[in-house]
Copies of this chain bind each other. A is one copy, B any other.
Amino acid sequence: MTTTMDGDRSGVPPLTKGERTRRRIMDSALELFGERGYTSVSLRDVAARAAITHAGLLHYFSGKDDLLITVMIDRDKQEIIALQEHIEQLSRRDGRPWTVDDVGLSWLVGQIAANQRRPDLAPLYVKLSAEATEPSHPAHNYFRKRYARLRRTLTGSMARAFATADPPVTGHDPVAAAAQVIALADGLQIQWVLDPDSVDMVASLLGYLRMLGIDPDGWALADEAAG
């Protein structure tokens, strides 16, 4: 049913009833995975949270793995769209084309600032990425690829930040620094989710970047992510 409806969409029409139900199921799944992790949540739990029958849910998703992967890919899509909009906004503002390399690091810090204000997402990623370290976990390949992609993207951003720093940074390897800044963000989130008063995630990340010789003052954080 949703597939047929999808074919009719043009521009951004209001969601159909089926699409709204599908979205409600995905939101409920995200909430529950964030609260308890993936493994210990059942499809029946998701159905109950979404106020739909178990059979009704199976009309939209073939199973829990399907639901998880769909939800994660949907989150990624939303993030890519938001990042593109952010880049276009900066390009229009400055009358010159910005790229992902230009904004990768400020985007990462902005996401962490956003997580600090939306305390449901950090636990979700903390729990899912940890569970998914198990090779048999349905999101294992997703997270392997996600981290590989993140390292690649942030290597470009790191190289750009090193080259444009004043003075330019020559003593650090962008590949190693990219893996390090991702690790730092992940690890800070664990401590923060366990005890929000224990660490200031944004200050710590900015301090780390300054230590590398990068000056984050004057960075344009995304509007919705600005601390």
Binding site for B on A (CB under 8 A): 35-37, 39-40, 123, 126-127, 129-134, 140, 143-144, 147-148, 151, 172, 176, 179-180, 182-188, 190-191, 193-195, 198-199, 203-204, 207-208, 211-212
Contact = CB atoms under 8 A, between A and B. Distances in A.
Nearest to A211: B211
* Main DSSP-derived SS at the A contact region: helix
Contact of A133 (B126, B180, B186): B126
B40 A198 contact: no
Nearest to A171: B211
A130 B35 CA distance: 11
Contact of A147 (B129, B140, B148, B195): B195
Q: How many identical chains are in the complex?
A: 2
Given A130-B130, A133-B193, A147-B195, A185 B187 contact: yes
Which 5 pairs between the two chains have the least Cβ-Cβ distance? A183-B187, A130-B130, A186-B187, A187-B187, A39-B40
A208 B180 contact: yes
Contacts of A193: 133
Contact of A198 (B129, B151, B188): B151
26 contacts: A35-B134, A36-B39, A37-B37, A40-B40, A123-B133, A127-B131, A127-B133, A129-B190, A129-B194, A130-B130, A130-B131, A130-B190, A147-B191, A147-B195, A147-B198, A151-B191, A151-B198, A172-B211, A176-B207, A180-B188, A180-B204, A183-B186, A183-B191, A186-B186, A187-B188, A211-B212
